[in-house]
């Protein structure tokens, strides 16, 4: 063991330089050519900036709602609820979310509520909702904004992100982009 100790320590130090300085600096250098210099994709809007990939909390009736979040969309951290599927307390909170949704969206039957709107995401920062989750909110948003429902429906359709190359993965809607488009429409 003694014979190996010094060589092992020196080897560790030279490899440290290679793998924690040269390798990340090379990646960093190339990332400077990516959108926003590798600092995360930004959307500028009315003097404020937002991260396209980080969801926002939307709870006002005149915005499309985001999914429930275990960390309230504070991206200084991240986290899911980690509730098990049979947890009674958890199931009661899901029921409460359904009741709240129905209260704010009169005329909607509960069979129209998609599951993503009443369950918390893994990261607590999910920027997306499903297409159904946007459609089921159209009537409410249109009423609150005094817009025709068709106009809002068209907006939802135009904000729909298709599966990758049209064939891989789910279609989805970025809630922040949808609500920004909504604000632009109302002005």
Partner 1 sequence: MNTELIGIVVMFTAAIVLAIPFGKYIAKVYGGEKMGLDPIFNPIEKLFYKTSRIDPSSPMDWKQHMVAMLTINMVWFLLGMLILMTQGSLPLNPDRNPSMPADLAFNTVISFVVNCNLQHYSGETGLSYLGQFWLMFLQFVSAGTGMAAAAVVFRAFREKTSSSLGNFYDFFVKSCTRILLPVSFLIAVILAFDGTPMTFEGKDTIVSLEGDTVEVSRGPAAAFVSIKHVGTNGGGFFGVNSAHPFENPSYLSNMVEMVGQLIIPLAMVFAFGYFIRRKRLSWMIFGVMTVGFLMLAIPNILMEVNGNPAIGKMGIDNTLGAMEGKEVRLGAAASGFWSIVTTVISTGSVNSMHDSSMALSGMNELLAMMINCFYGGVGVGILNFFVFIILAVFVSGLMVGRTPEFLGKKVEAREMKIAMIIALIHPLMILVGTGLATAFPEQGASTLNNPGFHGFSEILYEYTSSSANNGSGFEGLGDNTLWWNISTGFVLILSRFLPIIGPVAIAGLLADKRFIPEGEGTLKTDTSTFGLMVFAVIFIVAALAFFPALALGPIAEFFSM
Span 64-123, contacts to partner 1 by CB under 8 A: 67, 73-91, 94-95, 98, 110-116, 118-123
Distance CA(5)–CA(33), nearest Å, equals: 42
Residue 56 touches partner 1, criterion: CB under 8 A: yes
Q: Which residues contact 180 (CB under 8 A, 6 or more apart)?
A: 43, 45
Q: Which of 105, 107, 125, 160 binds partner 1 (CB under 8 A)?
A: 125
Q: Could you tell me which of 162, 142, 173 has the C-alpha nearest to residue 67?
A: 173
Distance CA(97)–CA(112), nearest Å, equals: 14
Largest CA distance in the chain: 80
Residue 145 touches partner 1, criterion: CB under 8 A: no
Residue 184 touches partner 1, criterion: CB under 8 A: no
Nearer to partner 1, 85 or 106 (CB): 85
Instruction: Name residue, tokens 């948003």.
Output: 141
Task: Name the minimum Å distance from CB 158 to partner 1.
Answer: 18
Nearer to partner 1, 94 or 147 (CB): 94
Residue 151 touches partner 1, criterion: CB under 8 A: no
Give Cα 89 distance to the centre of its chain: 25
Task: Name the minimum Å distance from CB 8 to partner 1.
Answer: 4
């Amino acid at each position: 063991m003694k014979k190996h100790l010094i060589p092992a320590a020196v080897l560790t130090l030279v490899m440290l330089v290679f793998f924690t300085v040269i390798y990340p600096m090379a990646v960093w250098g190339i990332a400077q050519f990516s959108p926003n210099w590798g600092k995360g994709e930004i959307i500028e809007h009315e003097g404020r900036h937002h991260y396209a990939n980080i969801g926002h909390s939307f709870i006002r009736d005149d915005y499309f709602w985001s999914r429930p979040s275990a960390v309230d969309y504070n991206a200084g951290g991240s986290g899911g609820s980690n509730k098990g599927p049979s947890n009674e307390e958890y199931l009661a909170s899901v029921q409460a979310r359904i009741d709240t949704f129905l209260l704010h969206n009169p005329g909607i039957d509960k069979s129209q509520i998609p599951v993503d709107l009443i369950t918390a995401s893994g990261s607590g920062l999910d920027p997306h909702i499903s297409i159904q989750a946007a459609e089921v909110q159209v009537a409410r948003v249109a009423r609150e904004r005094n817009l025709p429902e068709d106009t809002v429906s068209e907006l939802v359709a135009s904000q729909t992100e298709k599966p990758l190359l049209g064939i891989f993965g789910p279609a989805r809607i970025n809630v922040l982009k949808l609500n920004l488009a909504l604000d632009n429409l109302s002005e």
